Amino acid sequence: MQHKYWRMLAVIFYLIVLLLVVFHQDMLAMYGMAVGMLLEAIMALLSKA
């Protein structure tokens, strides 16, 4: 069940990133994408351990 909550948080996070792109906040959106990808990689690494 915890995995589902992380996925829901990721969807909300990427919706916020999409809104940043829509409102032409491109640099902030790129930072958000980088942080999101890093967090996803860390979660994948920890879930395999």
Cα dihedral 8/11/16/18 (nearest 10): -170
In the chain, what percentage of residues exceed pLDDT 90?
Answer: 63
Instruction: Quote the CA–CA distance of 2 and 12 in Å, as a whole number.
Output: 16
With a threshold of 0.75, does the pTM exceed it? yes
Residue 5 token pair? 């909550």
Question: Per-residue pLDDT for 47 more than 80?
Answer: yes
pLDDT at residue 28, rounded to an integer: 96
Per-residue pLDDT tens over the stretch 25-38: 999 999 999 999 99
Read off the pLDDT band of 49 (50, 70, 90). low
The residue extents of the domains of the chain are: 2-43
Q: Which amino acid is at 18?
A: L
Read off the pLDDT band of 13 (50, 70, 90). very high
